Structure 1
Amino acid sequence: MKKLILGMAIVASAFVFGQKGDVNAQLQAANKAAMDAYNAKNYAAAAPKFVEIYDLLKANGQDNKMYMYYAGLSHALANNSDASIKIYTDLVNSGFTGVETTYTAKEKKSGQVVNLDKATWDLMKKNSEYSDFKTEQTPSIEHELYETLSSLLLNAKKPNEALVIIEKGLVKFPNNAKLKEAQTTAYLQSGNTDKFISGLKEQLAKNPNDATNWYNLGVMQSKTPATTNDALDSFKKAIELKPDFAEAYQNLVYTTIGDDGKVVADINALRKDKPDEASKLIDARRERFAKALPFAEGWYKVAPKSIDAVTTLKEIYVVTKNNEKVKEMKAKEAELSAAAK
Structure 2
Amino acid sequence: MKKLILGIAIVASAFVFGQKNDVNAKLQETNKAAMDAYTAKNYTVAAPKFIEVYNLLKTNGQDDKIYMYYAGLSYALANNNDEAIKIYTELINSGFTGIQTTYTAKEKKSGQVVPLDKTTWDLMKNKNNDYSDFKTEQTPSVEPDLYETLTTLLLNAKKPNEALVIIEKGLAKYPNNVKLKDAQGTAYYESGNTEKFIGALKEQLAKNPNDATNWYNLGVMQSKNPASLEDAITSFKKAIEIKPDFDNAYQNLVYTVIGEDSKIVDQINATRKDKPDEATKLIDARRERFAKALPYAEGWYKAAPKNIDAVTALKEIYVVTKNMDKVKEMKAKETELKAQGK
Tell me the residue number matched to 1:17.
15
Asked if 1 retains the 8 angstrom alpha-carbon contact of 2:4 and 2:70, the reply is no
* 2:185 paired with 1:184: yes
In the superposition, relative to structure 1, how do residues 62 and 337 fare at CA in structure 2: closer, same or farther (>3 Å)?
farther
Q: CA deviation at 1:334?
A: 2.7
Take 1:308 and 1:327, find their aligned partners in 2: how far apart are those partners? 16
The Cα of 1:104 is off from its aligned counterpart by 0.6
2:137 maps to a residue whose letter is E
Counterparts of 1:1-341 in structure 2, within 5 Å, are: 6-13=1-8, 14-15=10-11, 16-19=14-17, 20-125=20-125, 126-340=127-341
CA contact 1:30–1:52 (8 Å) conserved in 2: yes
Measure the CA separation in 2 of the matches of 1:307 and 1:59: 65
Aligned equivalents of 1:82 and 1:300: distance in 2?
Answer: 44
Cα deviation, 1:69-128, whole Å, max 9, x if unaligned, reads: 111111112221111111110110000011111111111121111111111212322222
1:270–1:278: 8 Å Cα contact kept in structure 2? Answer: yes
The Cα offsets for residues 196-242 of structure 1, whole Å up to 9 and x where unpaired, read as 11111111111111111111111111111221111111111111111
Aligned residues: 336
1:322-341 deviation per Cα after TM superposition (whole angstroms, max 9, x unaligned) = 22222222232233233337
Identity %: 76
TM-score, length-scaled by structure 1: 0.93
**Helix, strand or coil: the match of 1:175?**
coil
Contact 1:10 1:70 survives alignment (8 Å): no
Instruction: Give secondary structure in 2 for the equivalent of 1:131.
Output: strand
Task: Give the distance between the partners of 2:51 and 2:70, measured in 1 at CA.
Answer: 8
Report the alpha carbon displacement of residue 159 of structure 1 after superposing the two structures with TM.
1.2
Aligned CA distance change for structure 1 residues 242 and 119 (closer, same or farther; 3 Å): same
SS of 1:340 mapped into structure 2:
coil
**TM-score for the superposition, normalised by structure 2:** 0.93
> 1: distance between equivalents of 2:298 and 2:15?
69
Unaligned runs of 5+ in 1: 1-5
Q: Provide the rounded CA distance (Å) in 2 between the counterparts of 1:311 and 1:180.
A: 38
CA distance in 2, matches of 1:201, 1:221: 12
Query: What is the DSSP-based 3-state SS (H/G/I as helix, E as strand, rest coil) of the residue aligned with 2:115?
Result: strand
2:160·2:191 contact (CA, 8 Å) conserved in 1?
yes
Structure 1's 117 and 293: CA in aligned 2 closer, same or farther, altered over 3 A? same
Cα 1:128/1:50, change in 2 over 3 Å: same
Task: Output the CA distance in 1 between the equivalents of 2:138 and 2:242.
Answer: 41
Give, as a single letter, the amino acid of the residue that structure 1 aligns with 2:5.
I
Shift of 1:10: 3.3
Say if 2:147 and 2:167, in contact at 8 Å, map to a contact too.
yes
Shift of 1:254: 0.8
- Aligned-partner residue type, residue 119 of structure 2: A
- Mind listing any 5+ residue stretches in structure 2 that lack a counterpart? none
SS of equivalent to 2:62: coil
**CA separation of 1:330/1:47 partners in 2, compared to 1, >3 Å: closer, same or farther?**
farther
Please give the secondary structure, in 2, of the residue aligned with 1:74.
Answer: helix
Deviation at 1:7, TM superposition (A): 4.2
Distance 1:115 1:327 in 2: 77
What secondary structure sits across from 2:154 in the alignment?
A: helix
1:35-85, Cα deviation, whole Å (9 max, x unpaired):
222222222222222212212221222111111111111111222111111
Cα distance in 1 for residues equivalent to 2:41 and 2:318: 52
